[in-house]
Amino acid sequence: MNKSSSEPLFAYSSVEERTFFVDLILPIPVPRLFTYRVQREMNGLIKIGARVIVPFGKSRVMTAVVASLHNQPPQNYQARYVLELLDEYPLVTGYQLQLFDWMSTYYMCCVGEVLNVALPSGLKITSQSKVQYNPDFDYPELLTEQEAALIDELRKQPALSYEEVGRLVGEINVPTLIKSLVGKRAVIVFDEVKEKYVPKMVRKVRLNPRFEDPEELVALIHRLEKLPKQQEVVMRYLSHVPLQRSPALNQIGLDKTLLNKDDELSSSSLATLIKNGVFDTFELIQPRFSQTFAPQGEIKLTSAQQAASDQVMGHFADKDIVLFHGITGSGKTEVYIDLIQKVLAGGSQVLYLLPEIALTTQIVVRLQKVFGDKMGIYHSKFSDNERVEVWKGIVSGQYQFVVGVRSAVFLPFDNLGLIIVDEEHETSYKQHDPAPRYHARDVAMMMAHWQQAKVLLGSATPSMESYYQAKQGRYGLVELFQRYGDANLPFISLIDVKKERHQKTMKNEFSSVLYQALSDNLERGEQSILFQNRRGYSPYIQCEDCEWIGQCPNCAVSLTYHQRAAELRCHYCGHKELVPKLCPVCGSTKVKTVGYGTEKLEDQLQILFPDARIQRMDLDTTRAKNAYQQIIQEFETGNVDILVGTQMITKGLDFGNVSLVGIFDADRIIHFPEFRATERAFQMMTQVSGRAGRRADRQGRVLIQTANPTQAVLAKIIDNDYHALYSDEIVERQNFNYPPFSRLIKLTVRHTDQRISKRAADKLRLDLADKLGDERVLGPEEPLVERVRNQFLFDILIKLEREKINFKAVKAFIQECITNILTDKGLRQVSIVIDVDCL
């Protein structure tokens, strides 16, 4: 039966007949590669970086990427065969493989985990098991009633997936049922492997080629004289495709939808014409970004921008990385465009990274105007197929330039000349949740280094890390302090809410000053933005009689009250519950909301300014696919007077008519319990302030509500004095040995039993401190929220000075300590999350 096993052994000894093996990266969190055999007929075809399909374990089929080819059979086991080769040409470049490898060591995770986030899921493969009736089956008496019914159904159909079987038999255990049937040899199970990526097709029509002859065409039109509807369809086609001028245009044809768009009559006429052979139909793969933008002319740089661009180029002569510090509104984008054009003209590729939220906005439109459809966009709100198209477009050379989010650092560039990391300080560049917990800025630098590309970091408020490197001379530094078109910097003032509360001049959360400013703005028909970095109605509800507070059953946080949805929600695990009418503890009716979020502000505003058009923008209002852009557009067109929002309103929005920005709860931002709090506060408030007065004709106003106007950061924010912030903050960092003077690695121990969690964390700390020393290992400490999804957490922070440390050895040691915990009988069920360079 098995042909290969009956082949004589000596057949293999003939000259070049070596059996090849491949080492594969599988998209699973197992810290090693897997060796497979390659069928002889695949020998010359399989290449490093190509995808293959392989059997894995007892019942799985997976896509993997070839990491290496060799001919050393494994020592202790029999390698299995590669089932299929998916790519004739490598889909993953050598640089990417190098990157995967580097990331897995640097961020202490498995290559498989890296592969998992690197590859858009459209390039992975789903294997679906299908069930088929076994035609040789002849013992129906063995079957239960239910099985017999299913077999009857299966006889009528070619093959069913598990889900389809499930639908047929109802809510029962499908795998068990099928297993039983397989045992009785009534059915056969097989795997159908299919690519998830489906190219988008357009249905097109064109005239039958014989009508490309003008005489035939004229004759046709005459013939249709008595069939006016059909004639009209032909005429409409000709108006879109002027055959008279060039018969060749017929080959390109016309979208079918364009011919029968408005009425059913024309579509039935078209159908007749197709049936009679007047029109031919055909299908074409449509590139997804084909809005054929004609690149629109040159952009004009101001002299300051031109100077900045020249300085950047100058630094690139001897520095690989340049930090571009340009205040908000200084027009950094134009400088980027100038540089991108230069690099593209030199024949190299360019990657432009933006934080998630900033990417949906005007910047992309602006870039698209300049670069047209030569520019790829890589964004998580795009469908997977679109991501695959960008990936393939880079491999094929269609895209030389891509704008993208964090994960765009994984794209298969092989000739990068420049990577721009815009809003370099943004924390969303750091991936938090699934491993690899990478920082896209740092990964980009690594990639650039290998490809000898330059990196440009841009920010109005650079991270301490980057600015320090620049000051040390490791990065080039270019600073631009002039606002574009001479727009004035906004005038920032502080409002003492403590005083106002005392004087009883507050209207709910609004100080009289802010209230007055808002109402003036409304009168003038100018727009305002209000910033409160907290969504929901209020952060918690409390019983006034017994002080009970609504808590999440799974996490150690209070539940946020969402009035619109009339429910309490946990912002950590997503738990939802109804709002209790009475206090669940004492039965009191005095359950009150405490504190305020965007939803409450929106509410209060509506009461204070009944005629104002108010829009809220936060996670809750932007969940739907295009909601974000819709809100922005509404605001841009002036259909909204006041925009209330969280973080997301701070990013790169550029509105001409905003002359007032109000910031709530500055104190909570400043006193966030974290060593970066001051830096964050400065960045956040400066960023929002930048939304005000982006025009030359008037100065914008920013009002910050605080209970303590004397706080040092506030003065720096008012003066827009980044340098003062830097020089004060860097001293703090040095004193307490925080980044950029050290590197941090955070280990989080998790378990459902708090005692086990604590024991594991204590032991881990002890093991680590044994070699690293007490001063380098901090904790274990309960994080701010010590319980999430019913798991108890403990953090251990490892602080490593930058000089004289062998990081590789230290990481190996940390890994060893973790393995040590995970092999301990009593503690092995804990999970330990490693976060290198945690923020």
Residues that bind DNA (CB under 7 A): 28-30, 34-36, 54-60, 74, 77, 79-80, 173, 175-176, 825, 828-829
By beta-carbon proximity to DNA, the closer residue of 28 and 274 is: 28
Cβ-contact 567, 578 below 8 angstroms: yes
The span from the CA of 812 to the CA of 805, in Å, is 13
531: β partners: 645, 663
The answer to whether the peptide bond before residue 436 is cis (omega within 30 degrees of 0) is yes
Of the two residues 753 and 770, which places its CB atom closer to DNA in the complex?
Answer: 753
According to DSSP, residue 226 is labeled G
Signed CA dihedral, 667, 673, 677, 680: sign only: negative
- In this complex, which beta carbon is closest to DNA, that of residue 127 or of residue 451? 127
Nearer to DNA, 427 or 752 (CB): 752
Nearer to DNA, 77 or 89 (CB): 77
Shortest Å distance, C-beta 634 to DNA: 40
Structure tokens at 715: 């003065």
Q: How far apart are CA 374 and CA 402, in angstroms?
A: 9
Shortest CB 38 distance to DNA, Å: 11
CB of 82 to DNA, least distance (A): 9
Question: How far from 616 is each of 57, 288, 474, 594, 693, CA to CA, in Å?
Answer: 50, 32, 43, 20, 20
Return the amino acid letter for 653: L
Report the half-sphere exposure of 594 (CA within 13 A, side-chain side).
13
CB of 799 to DNA, least distance (A): 27
The minimum distance between CB 113 and DNA, in angstroms, equals 9
Residue 446 CA to residue 235 CA, distance in Å, equals: 58
Render 432-463 in DSSP notation, one character per residue: -SSSP--BHHHHHHHHHHHTT-EEEEEESS--
Nearer to DNA, 74 or 94 (CB): 74
Neighbours of 362 (CB within 10 A): 15
Beta pairing class for 80-81 and 60-70: unpaired
Quick one: 816 or 824, whose CB is closer to DNA? 824
Residue 261 has a CB neighbour count (10 Å cut-off) of 11
| Minimum CB distance to DNA, residue 757 (Å) | 15
Characterize the bridge pairing of strands 254-255 and 201-207. Answer: antiparallel
Q: Compare residues 8 and 57 and give the one whose CB is closer to DNA.
A: 57
Query: Which residue has 């765009």 as its token pair?
Result: 408
Q: What is the rounded distance in angstroms from the CA atom of residue 765 to the CA atom of residue 654?
A: 48
The whole-angstrom separation of Cα 433 and Cα 125 is: 23
- Rounded to a whole number of angstroms, the minimum distance from the CB of residue 134 to DNA is 19
Which of residues 59 and 790 has its CB atom nearest to DNA in the complex? Answer: 59
Q: Name beta bridge partners: 835.
A: 746
With 0-12 CB in 10 A as exposed, 13-18 as middle and 19+ as buried, what is 263? exposed
Residue 451 to residue 507: CA distance in whole angstroms = 58
Q: How far is the CB of 127 from DNA (least distance, A)?
A: 9
Minimum CB–partner distance for residue 37 and DNA (Å) = 7
Residue 77: strand, helix, or coil: coil
Please state, in angstroms and rounded to a whole number, the distance separating the CA atoms of residues 144 and 166: 17
CA R_g for the chain: 32
Strands of 125-133's sheet in order across: 160-161, 125-133, 187-195
817 is in an annotated binding site: no
CB of 76 to DNA, least distance (A): 7
Terminal C-alpha separation, the chain: 60
Q: How far is the CB of 552 from DNA (least distance, A)?
A: 21
Residues 606 and 508 sit within 8 Å (Cβ to Cβ):
no
Question: What CA–CA distance (Å, rounded) separates 18 from 6?
Answer: 18
Nearest to 759 by CA among 792, 783, 797: 792
Residue 838, annotated as binding a ligand: no
Q: Which is nearer to DNA, 34 or 531 (CB)?
A: 34
Q: What angle do CA 641, 643, 647 make, to 5 degrees?
A: 165
Rounded CA-CA distance 341/326 in Å is: 20
Q: Which is nearer to DNA, 77 or 139 (CB)?
A: 77
Q: Which residues contact 632 (CB under 8 A, 6 or more apart)?
A: 360, 361, 653
Q: Among 623, 556, 163, 601, which Cα is nearest to 381's?
A: 623
Q: Residue 77 Cβ, how far from DNA at the closest point, in Å?
A: 6
- Taking the complex as a whole, how short is the minimal distance between the CB of residue 181 and DNA, in angstroms? 14
Which lies closer to DNA via its Cβ, residue 80 or residue 592? 80
* Least CB distance to DNA at residue 64 (A): 10
Residue number, 228 or 826, with CB nearest to DNA: 826
Q: Which two tokens stand for residue 374?
A: 């030569």
Q: Beta strand 567-569 with 576-578: parallel, antiparallel or unpaired?
A: antiparallel
110 is in an annotated binding site: no
127 vs 532, which CB is nearer to DNA? 127
What is the smallest separation between the CB atom of 40 and DNA, expressed in angstroms? 17
For DNA, give the closer residue by CB, 173 or 727.
Answer: 173
Q: How far apart are CA 403 and CA 367, in angstroms?
A: 9
CB count within 10 Å of CB 260 equals 19
CB 810 within 8 Å of CB 776? no
**Known binding site: residues?**
543, 546, 552, 555, 570, 573, 583, 586
**Known binding site for Zn(2+): residues?**
543, 546, 552, 555, 570, 573, 583, 586
